[in-house]
Amino acid sequence: MLPASLATAALASAALVVVGPPLDGPVSLPVTVPLLLAAAVAARVLPDRVGAGIGLVAVVLSVAAAIAALVTQPEDGLRAVAVGVRGVQFAALAVAAYAGVRRLVRPRRGTDAPRRDWTRPVQIAGLLCLSAIGAELLAAYSDNTGDPGGVAFALVFFAALYGAPALLARELVRRRGWGWPSLLLLFAALGTAQACLIDQSLFSADYQGYEGWEEIRQASLIPPLGISAHNAFSFIVGHVIYSFAAPAALAEAWAPQRAHKPWLGPVGAVGAVLAYAAAAALILSDPESHSGSPAQLAVSAAVVAGFVVAAALIGRRAAAGNRRPTEPTGRLPLWPVFAAALLVALLIDFSPQTWGGVLLSVAVTGGFGVALLAAARTWGWSVRHSAAAAFAFLLARGLMAFTYFPLLGDVAPLPKYAHNTVMILAVLAAAWPALRRRADQEEHP
């Protein structure tokens, strides 16, 4: 009965925090108060999954209402006490959500029916959302920062643009028995296609009016190619890490026993293809996405094809067993992997946007990649190690977003920092189930 009691207490606590005492005006009764109290009663008296479902719906609606209230508040409209109380409210809602999910997925008492596997749909949805967050929303550089409606649209759209192809690439690799090197090459193909063939931002001299775009481009411009070396590294490698690899590593680590198994059936694969095609077509319909010349597009297509061919060749060798890994010599702790990845991510972020910075970023990233391959072959690597590296990169990107304002539009400080905080919390929520120890589910790559 612990999850039921926990859900009831958390929902009731969140309702009491919402209602008062008054902090910035007269006492009022927001609509979320009766909603949460009713959900608390339902979580206590109704059957497990029914009560849990009602409670989770109430939590989602209450979180959306609370975020909307925060971002529409004037910059000086919330005192420190009010901010603290809102923090307690969000904590109570988080506890209620956790308890509700626990009740939703646990088997019914008194039955011999096998427990339904909820990991696959959760991993699919998680990868879709994490790809959208890692690719665009975590960096908080656009004018949708802090806008609940804009963020909701961006989450769906970028899930189709980045999450759907990430799922498809992962599906191909897992069905063929390939490994992470092939998956990273496919992600590089997707990142190159995004920056060079879809939005064509790599070739643009002033893309979408982003502040500082032209200065950054000129600092490491390669005139014969018409591209910036810094932008080429930032866009392509950035997509590989933040849009595809880090979300995939975290989602796989949520259920290590499924890390190397396919997730999509025929319907899911077709749906992912259609979603990706629709999102890409929508971007291509924008005149801003037609900045590449025929020669640049042809070379880009050849590079994409080269990555795909390399992924297939390396994957076939791995699947055939031609490369036998060295016998593991011990278990590498997670913290050195996390610390090294965090240091690499911060070095990349703080590198100047010049040729020197590009060379430093390439050297640091390449060295880290080689170190990961060596550690994976000799130190008993697991999916949790991959998740630790993924968490470090996403955490660094989220923390860096606090240090600047969006490059497009005029966003007030309160919604900007509220957005940053929510995105960091999303990353932490994704990392916790990925990194917690499950000795019976460990699986090596």
Residue 5 and residue 40 in one domain = yes
Higher local confidence (pLDDT), 330 or 313: 313
pLDDT at 324 over 60: no
**Domain range for 128:** 118-441
Residue 181 and residue 44 in one domain = no
- The pLDDT tens digits for 16-35 are 555 444 444 544 555 566 66
Which 3 state secondary structure label does DSSP give 355?
Answer: helix
Q: For residues 301 and 229, what is the distance between their CA atoms, to the nearest angstrom?
A: 18
Q: What is the structure's pLDDT at 326?
A: 46
Residue 354 and residue 291 in one domain = yes
Residue 330 and residue 415 in one domain = yes
- The pLDDT tens digits for 102-129 are 666 565 555 544 455 667 888 999 999 9
The DSSP letter of residue 46 is S
Residue 87 and residue 222 in one domain = no
Cα 407 to Cα 159, 228, 411, 415: the distances in Å are 22, 18, 10, 15
Higher local confidence (pLDDT), 177 or 5: 177
Q: Are 220 and 353 in contact (CB under 8 A)?
A: yes
Using the Cα atoms of residue 389, residue 152, residue 120 and residue 104 in order, give the sign of their dihedral: positive
Q: Strands 221-222, 227-228: parallel, antiparallel or unpaired by DSSP?
A: antiparallel
What is the number of domains present in the chain? 2
- Out of 116, 147, 166, pick the residue that ends a domain: 116
- Out of 74, 95, 116, pick the residue that ends a domain: 116
Residue 396 and residue 249 in one domain = yes
Residue 104 and residue 165 in one domain = no
Residue 50 and residue 160 in one domain = no
Residue 335 and residue 434 in one domain = yes
Residue 143 and residue 214 in one domain = yes
Q: For residues 311 and 305, what is the distance between their CA atoms, to the nearest angstrom?
A: 10
pLDDT at 437 over 50: yes
- Confidence band for 271, pLDDT divided at 50, 70 and 90: very high
- The pLDDT tens digits for 355-371 are 999 999 999 999 999 99
- Out of 116, 137, 153, pick the residue that ends a domain: 116
Read off the pLDDT of each residue in 147-168 and give the average, rounded to a whole number: 92
- The pLDDT tens digits for 36-54 are 677 677 666 676 666 667 7
Residue 138 and residue 44 in one domain = no
Residue 45 and residue 77 in one domain = yes
Read off the pLDDT of each residue in 215-244 and give the average, rounded to a whole number: 91
